[in-house]
Chain A
């Protein structure tokens, strides 16, 4: 998967590139609007991640130019969060999604994957890690073949963790992905939700509590158990 990142802030570009490459994305990076637009027009990208405030040519004008030239490549806008007007204009200009700064690279990756999934138009989308299987389309979950009845929040949470088994996710990362940016960060809703998922899986009675697919990392957050 090829991603074009147009972002002038070096340090942001650095960790975004690192994070994407870690997830096996191929990344091209431009640090100004003019070359960014040239790269974008050359095509061959699955997703373009576009900052709005850019030297040379701003993100909205690049987006406008791209859509005018008939390029349908999905675009995710990066905005400083208060730039509500930019966000509104960006969406009306044909951006596929937007992410407010500051953002988690994990969240950016999740958004990119969601856009790519939407673009592929698959009717089923099965994810399977170890004994847990889930279908993103029908939103059904099974644990060792037995159905687990999860609520919307619980499903989204476990789906998020399953994206990278063995990788630790902080509470705030989980909170932001499942509940959104604006949920009070001081709540313990993530821990409560994890416990409910664990209980539901344990209540199926197949395997002991130690088998729980979700592991706690003390002081940090949670991770999905990597199958041995």
Chain B
């Protein structure tokens, strides 16, 4: 099966842009995820810092936990944990979901700052005041039981802890009074990432389809000059060499191709015209002297004394002149067929009668052979009356020439759906396989059986086939295992 270049172009476009889009989507997804993580980290740190200076009872802390959950936009409350210790390692509050594997007192708590080292806080760059401009401002502590007493700002850090399939991002903040840890599971951002992924999964195939369609349309447009060339080449076959392709409005790469193609056509047309004119000229040049020769010989034969040696000699010359004109005629017929200009003048023709005559001729020509005819009556065809008889004569003369002693010839007809078939079968000495393919070649003559000289120049079958084809028919041939040769002439009914 032939591949379509256009389809391949469209698929290639879709494939390449598909790869590029996938890479882009993947890296975008990673970037979004990383920035969300970073934001989550800074949020937990900010929350921890804010809460680290406060003192609340257990209920207050529980409320604070819920406030942080809603403030950070976390959908599942279990994704946030809160631990508060006082300065001596006593746990003031611990979320119920706090993993047992994590001992809160072993967390890498930062060292609480003393009032004497405010510049360290600034260099950490993570203080609540310093970060206030680019981080969501903590809501006013409406329900806080007690305002944070003034003191040095908390020390804070962020750590990551993986356990039991959770990836906890923990913000730790310490003041000299309490330690606060706010832990958020990375899974908290999963629903958002899933949403983004889903959007990509919908958009990607959709854009691939669009690109494929676009590629198909575009390559169709790009291949248009090629299709024009194909159509023109087809027209050349069907209508003749005078077809040209317009290069108007084409891109310059194609203009060049079209010009080369047109140039080739022009050259072909010129040489075909020359060849045809040559054969017409040659015909005229040959036929005129031949006509004069023949006419004058005819005249001389009639003028000579009947039965005189002179008359017999002139007759011999006349035979040769006839032979010469027959050969030149067949050659010219073939050259016309080659130029594609073998036109026929179709007239009604009584094929049955012509075949009956043919059977009679065969009997006269080959009395030593058994000749039979099975000809359906009333077969009428539309053929060229000057050309078709040549074909019939040629078929029987071959059947006689290449027959064997005590052989037979059968001429029969068959009516097909849209064709009439004339079959000429005969016994033969066999045709070597190598010769079978060449049987319609010009100047090919089969090896005569028993060294007998076979007359003719080997143009008959090729001329016959050209004539049959010009009628919209054909000649086929087959040999069976008994060396019976059968030629079939097919004519449109």
Contact = CB atoms under 8 A, between A and B. Distances in A.
A217 B455 CA distance: 25
Contacts of B306: 168, 217, 220, 223
Nearest to A86: B280
Contacts of B450: none
A10 to B, nearest CB: 9
B321 interface: yes
A172 B318 contact: yes
Interface stretch (B371-379, B386-394, B410-418): B386-394
Contacts of A88: 343-345
Interface centre among B344, B345, B364, B397 (most CB of A within 10 A): B364
B357 interface: yes
A219 B315 contact: yes
Contacts of A188: 365
A155 B470 CA distance: 33
B419 interface: no
A149 interface: no
Contacts of B284: 53, 80
A130 interface: no
Contact of A81 (B329, B356, B367, B455): B329
Report the interface size class on chain A: 35 or more
A72 interface: no
Interface in A98-115: 100-106
B307 A220 contact: yes
A120 interface: no
B318 A196 contact: no
Interface in A1-57: 9, 11-12, 15-16, 18-19, 53
Contacts of B329: 81-82
A188 B365 CA distance: 7
A105 B357 contact: no
A186 interface: yes
B460 to A, nearest CB: 8
Contacts of A167: 302
A185 B323 contact: yes
A103 B291 contact: yes
A11 B289 CA distance: 9
Interface in B330-369: 332-333, 336, 341-345, 353, 356-357, 360-361, 364-365, 367
Interface string A57-93: 0000000000000000000000011111101100110
B361 A153 contact: yes
Contacts of B64: none
Contacts of B364: 153, 189, 192-193, 196
A83 B281 CA distance: 10
Nearest to B285: A80
Given A81-B287, A82-B329, A184-B397, A219 B312 contact: yes
A82 B335 CA distance: 10
A82 B393 contact: no
Interface in B279-324: 279-280, 283-284, 287-288, 290-296, 298-299, 301-302, 306-307, 309, 311-313, 315-316, 318-319, 321-323
B301 A170 contact: yes
A179 B296 contact: no
A183 B396 CA distance: 11
Report the interface size class on chain B: 35 or more
Contacts of A181: 386
Given A102-B293, A170-B318, A187-B365, A15 B298 contact: yes
A170 B313 CA distance: 12
A12 B301 contact: no
A134 B455 CA distance: 36
Interface in A180-205: 180-189, 192-193, 196
A152 B316 CA distance: 28
Contacts of B322: 172, 185
A83 B285 CA distance: 12
A92 to B, nearest CB: 8
A90 to B, nearest CB: 9
A185 B294 contact: no
B456 interface: yes
A220 B311 CA distance: 7
B283 A83 contact: yes
A165 interface: no
A174 to B, nearest CB: 12
Nearest to A167: B302
Contacts of A106: 298
Contact of A80 (B288, B295, B319, B397): B288
Interface in B457-484: none
Given A82-B329, A88-B344, A185-B323, 5 more contacts: A85-B341, A105-B298, A179-B393, A182-B389, A220-B312
14 contacts: A11-B296, A12-B292, A15-B296, A19-B298, A80-B287, A102-B291, A106-B298, A168-B302, A189-B364, A192-B364, A192-B365, A219-B316, A220-B306, A220-B315
Interface of B: 279-280, 283-284, 287-288, 290-296, 298-299, 301-302, 306-307, 309, 311-313, 315-316, 318-319, 321-323, 325-326, 329, 332-333, 336, 341-345, 353, 356-357, 360-361, 364-365, 367, 386, 389-390, 393, 397, 455-456
